[in-house]
Chains A and B, each alone.
Chain A
Amino acid sequence: MSAPRNGTTTAPARPGTFAAILRVYPYAKVAMPRVYLGMVSALVAGLVALLIPQVLARLVDGPLQDGDSSRIWGPVAIVLGLGVLEAAMIWLRRWFVLQPGTHIEARMRNGLYAQLQDLPVTFHDRWPSGQLLSRAMSDLNIIRRWISFGLVLLVVHLLMIVVGFAFLISINWMLGLLFVVCSVPLWIYGYVFEQKYSIVSRRSQDQSGDLATAVEESVHGIRVLKAFGRGKYALKNFASQAEDLRGTEIEKARAIAGIWLWLLLVPDVTFALCLLGGVWLAADGQLSVGELVAFFATATVLRFPVESIGYLLSMTFDARTAADRFFEVMDEENTITDPADPKTIASPRGRLVFEGAHFRYPDSPATHTDLLDGIDLELEPGETMALVGLTGSGKSTLTALTTRLYDVTAGAVILDGVDIRDLTRFDLRRHIAMAFEDATLFSASVRDNVLLGRPEGTDEDLAEALDIAQAAFVHQLPNGVDTMVGEEGMSLSGGQRQRLALARAVAAKPDVLVLDDPLSALDVDTEALVEAALRRVLASTTALIVAHRPSTVMLADRVALLENGRVTAVGRHSELLRTNDHYRFVISSLEDDDPPADVAEVPDDIPDDITDARRGVTS
């Protein structure tokens, strides 16, 4: 469960390269017949290329030796014919593997995306989106190229080498054996190369991912960086990460240089030895000149397959690393899933109950108590409950429990008598709609953004929701409600986004409305208008509203006070204001007009810092 942010993760007991890549098979299965056909075509092409030297040998020892120019035309025609066949086979190979590669890639990409959308928010809290993006883009690219190119050629070239060796040995067993023996160091070095290369390759891919994260943050956080003039400072951090990547890349180049050295040196030495031996044997009469020519022509055809093995191996290891990174996400266990046997709510009324609900973040240290430490709270149908507490008391987390963005770690949340874990997530989120303080709009029209929770909604639904959220500004946008907003559209102010997010929650017409401080970015006038309009909705809908302001609290029938992970008081605003010191401390801004008793007797449960601060205020 580690997020590989700094690229230092070391996998325990790596499975073999073959086993690791084989995991891609389910995605590749339907495409494999074409891949095999591609291999066959490539193999035929390779064999044809190997046949040409055989024809040459006949030609040299026959007509050329005899000086019979009339018999030259036949063999030349055969060489030409084989040449055309080779080209045709290469065309076939390309044609066969064209679709599989891209389809496998597309399938894996859609699969990854589906998995990422399904994984709980805790996963996304942990994984920077740059790491996810590099998996979805470059890693899958690598796998595609390996399947349609690397894999096919690796298999075919290995086969060609075997057949070619057989040809060489059949021409002259001593020369052929010499050639084969001399190739052995290449395989040994290729193996050593794997060890070295795959480590560096993995590091390079991780570092690329980290660099992508740095880029993303520098763009998303551009306002902060500008406000403090920290562009250069950010550059320094970015540059040092880029330097790390450069170091890794050069290390990678050294490894590649090493294998190049052997890939060129060994065949050349082999050729030199074969030349020596071949001419010697020819002088001795054990080998005809034609056979000598065929030997070198065959050996030359084999050079590319032999040399390519190193490159293809490194491609394979890259693909393996990419597959590892892909499955790292795919293997992530989803802790928030639909029940095997989901229940439904026959007649939803909107009664929401927290029963001893506990929650702690998976990585919070054992010494910490649960963030939510046994929440008991009941919202009757149609009731509006405000949730009040200090910053960090877990209000937002509590709201996130209602739609299972997080799951309770103990206890339960119950909607109309059904544990929400017994509902499908889709169903649950149809019953409960949320508006977040941090309002996210998607690249789509205003209409689609507002009707997100009710795609079948009519123009009237849209107008009503916009009206309640006081979002009439959308009519002033260039294309009204059809104006594109979000990443690829117009950028809106925080207040505007917040109102659209509120409209979205309202438009979903849920049984329970959960609003996480939905009015924080609005000015006083607009807030008053929104509140007036919201009352109409809240009259009939169960609602849980995180409130920081008295004005928001006024929307609620009752208020729940969240303190040290528990609900310590529930009641009407005026009642709590009168009877509960902590409540007054949390919600009241009227320090001057209301020189209350709470200055003298500070309740025990108020953290020290606040006590200190308040001493500072009063002294």
Chain B
Amino acid sequence: MSVLGVEGEERNDFSPEESRQIRQRSIRLLGSLLSPTRARLILTMCVVVISTAAQVAGPALIAIGIDRGLPAIVDEGNGTPLALVVVAYLLTGVIGAVLIAWYTVLAARISQGILIDLRKRVFLHTQKLSLEFHESYTSGRIIARQTSDLDAIRELLDSGINQLVQGLLYMVFIGIALFSLDWVSGLVLMVFLVPLGVLTRWFQVRSQRVFRETRVASARLIVHFVETMTGIRAVKAFRKEKRNAADFAGYVEGYRDSNSRVIALFGTFDPVLVLIGNVALGVVLLVGGLRVADGGLQIGVLLATLLYTRQFFAPAQEMAMFYNSYQSAAAALEKISGVLEEQPSVPDPTRPIDLWNAKGRVRFDGVEFAYRSDRVILPRFDLDIPAGQVIALVGSTGAGKSTLAKLMSRFYDPSSGAVSLDGLDLRMLHPKDLRRAVVMVTQEAYLFSGTVSENIALGKPEATRDEIVAAARAVGAHDFITSLPGGYDTDVNKRGGRVSAGQRQLISFARAFLADPVVLILDEATASLDIPSERLVQEGLTTLLADRTAVIIAHRLSTVAIADRVLVMEHGTIVEDGTPADLIAGTGRFSQLHAAWRDSLV
């Protein structure tokens, strides 16, 4: 089985080799995220090293204060040593605190920089991935990658890294301080590194699996949640609430269960860690105490070793928390890197050809299209569409009309053969030029939150209000828009809740009109329009399509009137090709369809 890209995302039984592959791609991603911040990273490290050293100095200074300062006053009446120690203590305190505050801001800048970089990358990559990917990977999962998985990484960067860096440095500096004060205590502490290491390793192994389960469980929860909220009308109309609640409760329970297993793991780790620390404290006390009694060790030093021992294990606790956020972030990163590893099956050309003024001649040369390598949708065919020709593409549902349209607008690439515009393979064209030249309007007219005018302007972001209004007028959308509460500035709300399906189609028509492409593909773009609107659009189309190449897919054959040429498709093959008049006059499939359609009009 492959673990390339998003494959194996729901699996939990990776072979060592597969785990290595996944880990490596995460690490590569992490490395590429970190490298731009290298300079700032070094500065930040310096700041945190100095601040930690300053913080660790405390107990040693107390030891000196007790062992030197106190006798100096008692024996010689000399307060200077004590004064010096106190000043040193104040100094390290101030330096430690100021630097740690500075570090907090510096670290936030770095982690926020990394986050925004990653957000943008995943967002852009998601946009680049082909429709084929989106259709199989589902929107809920791709949303989970960009929301909850990114949150996991955000949490790691926010607090986890701080805990690790500070904790680790703390332990190192305490070790150094301890060895230089009293090497015997230092050795004792080192012995306790062994159980600490074993515990940590145990935790690491055990937690990896549970954390991965948590991510899967939360993704499931999110998919179900989003599906319910976006389909709320159907949920209500068909009384699905109770059944939904039961299903959702199941997912919630699954998520809760995996979450509580994570927490339970901590419930073991944390107390065992404290136990190790406290036993170490007892041993250090014993070893030190015996020597103090012998006169081999000063009391101040003993106090310092005890304080250090206690502090030594405190960050280990925080580092356990680091593992918490690290593990979820690592699992999240694995999935995100998987998505980023997915190659768009419709890739941008590496050396794009510019096409400034496309004429609009489209050719299909020996094109074949198969879905996921085995299901042939369109068997090999040729098709030449001269610039400026308007084609009506008809045929029953599933005949392959939309697939042909998607090949033409390069939503898909052909499995073999080539689709070309003005003699240039679509795969070679700069995406910008391609999208300016070829625009497809589909039946599903999606509106983004924002105003009506912003939605139309999507066709041409730099458009002026006049241009937007002109486009709306041209497709007959102006009047309904001005009758909306805020006119062109009406917020269309979530999923165009307030705007009817037909109005949404008019807006998306206006969008296409504004984009002004040389090749326009309309895939059932008038299906939801009422007859008067359709009539208006038809009229508009005659002028709109005057100097454009167009392919119109419509079940209603009224479009045929404005077409120069009709293609009839069946089972992925073009079975008839001719002028409307010729085909209607003939006895083929189209003349039957047309007759049936005429009958349906009265």
Contact B555 A368 (CB under 8 A): no
Asked if B579 is an interface residue, CB under 8 A from chain A, the answer is no
Residues in B whose Cβ lies below 8 Å from that of A544: none
Contact B108 A250 (CB under 8 A): yes
Residues in B whose Cβ lies below 8 Å from that of A551: 600-601
Contact A222 B238 (CB under 8 A): no
Contact B299 A64 (CB under 8 A): yes
Interchain CA distance A37-B170 in the complex, whole Å? 33
Q: Shortest CB–CB separation between residue B54 and chain A, in angstroms?
A: 9
The stretch that binds A, out of B13-21, B113-121, B174-182, B352-360, is: B113-121
Residues in B whose Cβ lies below 8 Å from that of A275: 61-62, 65, 82, 85-86, 89
Q: Shortest CB–CB separation between residue A134 and chain B, in angstroms?
A: 8
Contact A280 B494 (CB under 8 A): no
Closest chain A residue to B553, Cβ basis:
A523
Partner of B139, one of A124, A220, A279: A220
Asked if B203 is an interface residue, CB under 8 A from chain A, the answer is no
Asked if A83 is an interface residue, CB under 8 A from chain B, the answer is yes
Contact B74 A429 (CB under 8 A): no
Contact A116 B229 (CB under 8 A): yes
Partner of A227, one of B62, B299, B439: B439
Asked if B199 is an interface residue, CB under 8 A from chain A, the answer is no
Interchain CA distance A264-B310 in the complex, whole Å? 18
Partner of A280, one of B73, B92, B290, B409: B73
Contact B239 A426 (CB under 8 A): yes
Interchain CA distance A11-B218 in the complex, whole Å? 31
Contact A239 B231 (CB under 8 A): no
Interchain CA distance A361-B115 in the complex, whole Å? 40
Interchain CA distance A433-B85 in the complex, whole Å? 84
Asked if A2 is an interface residue, CB under 8 A from chain B, the answer is no
Asked if A216 is an interface residue, CB under 8 A from chain B, the answer is yes
Residues in A whose Cβ lies below 8 Å from that of B528: 437, 517, 520, 548
Q: Shortest CB–CB separation between residue A511 and chain B, in angstroms?
A: 14
Contact B66 A289 (CB under 8 A): yes
Closest chain A residue to B278, Cβ basis:
A83
Q: Shortest CB–CB separation between residue A263 and chain B, in angstroms?
A: 8
Residues in A whose Cβ lies below 8 Å from that of B4: none
Q: Contact residue range for chain B?
A: 35 or more
Contact B108 A279 (CB under 8 A): no
Contact B307 A300 (CB under 8 A): yes
Residues in A whose Cβ lies below 8 Å from that of B311: 300
Residues in B whose Cβ lies below 8 Å from that of A438: 501
Contact B134 A493 (CB under 8 A): no
Interchain CA distance A300-B102 in the complex, whole Å? 24
Residues in B whose Cβ lies below 8 Å from that of A117: 228, 232, 235-236, 241, 244-245
Interchain CA distance A521-B536 in the complex, whole Å? 20
Best-buried of B96, B230, B278 by chain A (most CB within 10 Å): B278
Asked if A282 is an interface residue, CB under 8 A from chain B, the answer is yes
Identify which of residues 374-428 in chain B touch chain A, using a CB-to-CB cut-off of 8 Å. 395-398, 402, 409, 411
Contact B293 A440 (CB under 8 A): no
Contact B101 A257 (CB under 8 A): yes
Partner of B222, one of A137, A252, A260: A137
Please list 15 pairs of residues, one from A and one from B, whose beta carbons are closer than 8 Å in the complex, sorted by A's number: A83-B282, A113-B248, A125-B497, A219-B142, A228-B459, A271-B58, A272-B93, A273-B86, A300-B307, A391-B500, A392-B502, A403-B237, A425-B236, A429-B236, A494-B443
Asked if A217 is an interface residue, CB under 8 A from chain B, the answer is yes
Interchain CA distance A610-B537 in the complex, whole Å? 12
Q: Shortest CB–CB separation between residue A342 and chain B, in angstroms?
A: 15
Known: A125-B497, A487-B138, A521-B527. A110 touches B147 (CB 8 A): no
Residues in B whose Cβ lies below 8 Å from that of A265: 93-94, 97-98
Identify which of residues 145-170 in chain A touch chain B, using a CB-to-CB cut-off of 8 Å. 148
Asked if A12 is an interface residue, CB under 8 A from chain B, the answer is no
Best-buried of A94, A365, A496 by chain B (most CB within 10 Å): A94
Q: Shortest CB–CB separation between residue A462 and chain B, in angstroms?
A: 15
Asked if B192 is an interface residue, CB under 8 A from chain A, the answer is no
Interchain CA distance A199-B480 in the complex, whole Å? 41
Identify which of residues 87-146 in chain B touch chain A, using a CB-to-CB cut-off of 8 Å. 89-90, 92-94, 96-98, 100-102, 104-105, 107-109, 112-113, 115-116, 119-120, 123-124, 126-128, 131, 134-136, 138-140, 142-143, 146
Contact flags A191-235 to B (C-beta < 8 A → 1, else 0):
000000000000000001001110111111111111111111111
Interchain CA distance A430-B240 in the complex, whole Å? 11
Q: Shortest CB–CB separation between residue A290 and chain B, in angstroms?
A: 8
Q: Shortest CB–CB separation between residue A443 and chain B, in angstroms?
A: 6
Residues in A whose Cβ lies below 8 Å from that of B290: 69, 72
Asked if B30 is an interface residue, CB under 8 A from chain A, the answer is no
Known: A79-B281, A289-B299. A517 touches B501 (CB 8 A): yes
Asked if A102 is an interface residue, CB under 8 A from chain B, the answer is yes
Q: Shortest CB–CB separation between residue A208 and chain B, in angstroms?
A: 8
Residues in B whose Cβ lies below 8 Å from that of A373: none
Partner of A228, one of B268, B274, B458, B480: B458
Closest chain A residue to B395, Cβ basis:
A523
Asked if B571 is an interface residue, CB under 8 A from chain A, the answer is no
Asked if B295 is an interface residue, CB under 8 A from chain A, the answer is yes
Asked if A418 is an interface residue, CB under 8 A from chain B, the answer is no
Q: Shortest CB–CB separation between residue A205 and chain B, in angstroms?
A: 11
Known: A56-B306, A429-B239. A391 touches B281 (CB 8 A): no
Asked if B431 is an interface residue, CB under 8 A from chain A, the answer is yes
The stretch that binds B, out of A27-35, A173-181, A346-354, A581-589, is: A581-589
Partner of B281, one of A83, A99, A493, A517: A83
Contact B271 A235 (CB under 8 A): no
Contact B120 A296 (CB under 8 A): no
Asked if A415 is an interface residue, CB under 8 A from chain B, the answer is no
Asked if A121 is an interface residue, CB under 8 A from chain B, the answer is yes
Q: Shortest CB–CB separation between residue B151 and chain A, in angstroms?
A: 6
Contact flags B230-265 to A (C-beta < 8 A → 1, else 0):
111111111111011100110011011001100110
Residues in B whose Cβ lies below 8 Å from that of A187: none
Identify which of residues 439-494 in chain B touch chain A, using a CB-to-CB cut-off of 8 Å. 439-449, 458-459, 461, 476, 478-480, 483, 485, 493-494
Contact A264 B93 (CB under 8 A): yes
Asked if A567 is an interface residue, CB under 8 A from chain B, the answer is no
Interchain CA distance A547-B463 in the complex, whole Å? 36
Closest chain A residue to B397, Cβ basis:
A495
Asked if B585 is an interface residue, CB under 8 A from chain A, the answer is no
Q: Shortest CB–CB separation between residue B112 and chain A, in angstroms?
A: 4
Asked if A569 is an interface residue, CB under 8 A from chain B, the answer is no
Asked if A324 is an interface residue, CB under 8 A from chain B, the answer is no
Closest chain B residue to A397, Cβ basis:
B500
Contact flags A250-294 to B (C-beta < 8 A → 1, else 0):
101110111011101100110111011001101100000100110
Residues in A whose Cβ lies below 8 Å from that of B539: 613, 616-617
Known: A90-B271, A265-B93, A609-B476. A133 touches B289 (CB 8 A): no
Contact A227 B226 (CB under 8 A): no
Residues in A whose Cβ lies below 8 Å from that of B533: 390-391
Residues in B whose Cβ lies below 8 Å from that of A242: 116, 119-120
Closest chain A residue to B411, Cβ basis:
A226
Residues in B whose Cβ lies below 8 Å from that of A283: 70, 73-74
Known: A87-B271, A391-B533. A260 touches B402 (CB 8 A): no
Contact B233 A121 (CB under 8 A): yes
Interchain CA distance A474-B274 in the complex, whole Å? 61
Contact A98 B260 (CB under 8 A): yes
Contact B446 A430 (CB under 8 A): no
Identify which of residues 52-82 in chain B touch chain A, using a CB-to-CB cut-off of 8 Å. 55, 58-59, 61-62, 65-66, 69-70, 73-74, 82
Best-buried of B158, B236, B395 by chain A (most CB within 10 Å): B236
Closest chain B residue to A132, Cβ basis:
B229
Residues in A whose Cβ lies below 8 Å from that of B431: 229
Residues in B whose Cβ lies below 8 Å from that of A52: 281
Contact B234 A260 (CB under 8 A): no
Partner of B100, one of A132, A212, A261, A591: A261
Residues in B whose Cβ lies below 8 Å from that of A219: 126, 134, 139, 142-143, 146
Interchain CA distance A617-B458 in the complex, whole Å? 29
Identify which of residues 486-507 in chain A touch chain B, using a CB-to-CB cut-off of 8 Å. 486-488, 491, 493-496, 501, 504
